Structure 1
Amino acid sequence: MKMKIQLSLVAILLATAVLAQPKNTSHASQTWLAYFNQTRLSNKWGLWGDFQIRTREELVSDFSTGIARVGLTYFIDDNVRLTLGYGFINNYPPNDNVKVSQPEHRPWQQVQWFTKNKRTRLMQYIRLEQRYRRRYLNNTELADSYAFNFRLRYNFFYQIPLHPQGLIPKKLSAIVNDELHINFGKQIVNNYFDQNRLFLGLNYAFDNNNNLQFGYLNTFIQTAAGNQYRNINALRVAYVHNLDLRRGK
């Protein structure tokens, strides 16, 4: 029964992601590189870290975004955890006319939970972010003030092994991942929907702690104007590193 509910959820989100796009949509091709780490220090406490870099267009042309995110995690149990963190985001100049990067400070809070069956694995989280983005004074200078809004993110990550049942080592699995972003706050007028990210790829497990994920990412964004959209087709490559430093683990 649980499996049917999970697969239904995947089907609904995938159908939503492939709806016809508005005519006023710009397109870009990017590469997203990332390192993700979750380290468990004790039965109750752990650390979160992820570091990302993204290109702007044509897969390898310039940079668009750099992210450094850290957090402190509290384990309710082995399958449910809470994280409180901070992220620094550097938004590189979006075009050749803008000469200065836009920094963003982003505190965040998250609840993450796992559902494991005999073969499949489902990870979900809900994350609340507070986004403080430095305003532009002009194309070469930043203002002293910040734009602010809240953003809510729901993420599901579904992993399906591709090896026959019982085969060891379990190296390769398929991934279906979708993340929906919703804006809210006083400064949000036209784009309560922020973006949706759909990822289809593969996971290669070197061992229980080290994984390489790679595949196709589609990101569909509604801009602050409300009637302008951006569709990004990206190659995403991520190294996922999990550590358990508890004695005897």
Structure 2
Amino acid sequence: MIWMFSRKIFLPCILLLSNVYAEAQPLENWMSFRIAKKLTHKFAMSVEYMPRFTGFFDKEQLWLLRPDIKYNVNNDLELGIGYAYFETSQETFYSKENRFYIQANYRKNIGSFNTMNRLRIEQRYFDEHANLSSNLRVRFQINLIKKLLALNKQSDLSLIFGDEIMYNSRENAVGSHFDQNRIHLGFQCAIGQKLKVSPFYQFTQQESFSGKDRFISALRVNTIFSF
């Protein structure tokens, strides 16, 4: 049953991502290391460090540091506020940024799927690119998670497929427009109650400051340690 389901979901996704991969050379590597601490039964905090590399860990092009605080409304809904600092190398396409954001995380079971949905609204301040000193960006992400097998009572392996769309509202521009779309496919491995490791492939279509689309292909590994 697991193989039949995985084949129906996994193979079409592989064909989709392999088709767009050809436009997204060279391959980048994105890492994420997050530590989450439960403060009370309602409040929690976390800190995330995310370095990105060009080539196969060839050269670090940027990194992001993101602390936040979350409030657990109920079993399904979580609200949060946070800050992110975005540092880049001199050769990179991106600008250095300071970001302040609010977000809502919503969990829902749909049949045999678990869904993880996130809405984030962030105010961004740029150190460079004088024609774009700041903007407001809206991000919506949905993840579909299907448990494949239980390794033991506290560990399991799941298939994960997701999409995140980002939309800019530029304060010094006439209107709003599309920023980028990220599609990802991979696995989520829960190792005990505290550790989750998620390796996956991500394809990004992004509009540059010049108005031209960029295509980014990346191998990502997200690591979360909760206590």
- TM-score, normalising length: structure 1: 0.74
Equivalent positions of 1:137-148 (< 5 A) are 147-148=133-134
SS in 2 for 1:60: coil
Alpha-carbon distance between aligned partners in 1 of 2:70 and 2:43, rounded to the nearest angstrom = 6
* Identical pairs, percent: 22
Native 8 Å contact 2:113 2:146 kept in 1: yes
Give the partner amino acid of 2:60: F
Alignment CA distance shift 1:192-1:117 (3 Å): closer
Alignment CA distance shift 1:118-1:36 (3 Å): farther
Give the partner amino acid of 1:61: D
Give the partner amino acid of 2:88: N
Q: Does 1:109 align with 2:102?
A: yes
SS in 2 for 1:113: strand
Give the partner amino acid of 1:111: A
Native 8 Å contact 1:59 1:234 kept in 2: no
Alpha-carbon distance between aligned partners in 2 of 1:126 and 1:119, rounded to the nearest angstrom = 23
Could you tell me which residue of structure 2 aligns to residue 139 of structure 1? Answer: none
Alignment CA distance shift 1:71-1:168 (3 Å): closer
Give the partner amino acid of 1:232: I
Identify which of 61, 67, 72 aligns with 1:70: 67
Coordinate RMSD, CA, aligned: 2.9
Alignment: residue pair count:
211
User: What are the ranges of 5 or more consecutive residues in structure 1 without an aligned counterpart?
Assistant: 1-9, 137-142, 244-249
- TM-score, normalising length: structure 2: 0.81
Identify which of 32, 37, 40 aligns with 1:39: 37
User: What are the ranges of 5 or more consecutive residues in structure 2 without an aligned counterpart?
Assistant: 1-8
1:191 deviation in Å? 7.2
CA shift digits 1:10-29 (9 cap, x unpaired): 9xxx8xx87x98xxx77432
**Structure exhibiting the larger radius of gyration computed from Cα positions:** 1
Alignment CA distance shift 1:40-1:188 (3 Å): farther
Native 8 Å contact 1:161 1:170 kept in 2: no
Q: Does 1:93 align with 2:90?
A: yes
Could you tell me which residue of structure 1 aligns to residue 218 of structure 2? Answer: 234
Q: Does 1:59 align with 2:56?
A: yes
Q: Does 1:48 align with 2:41?
A: no
Native 8 Å contact 2:78 2:106 kept in 1: yes
Native 8 Å contact 2:99 2:125 kept in 1: yes
1:190 deviation in Å? 8.2
Alignment CA distance shift 1:199-1:184 (3 Å): same
Identify which of 140, 146, 150 aligns with 1:160: 146
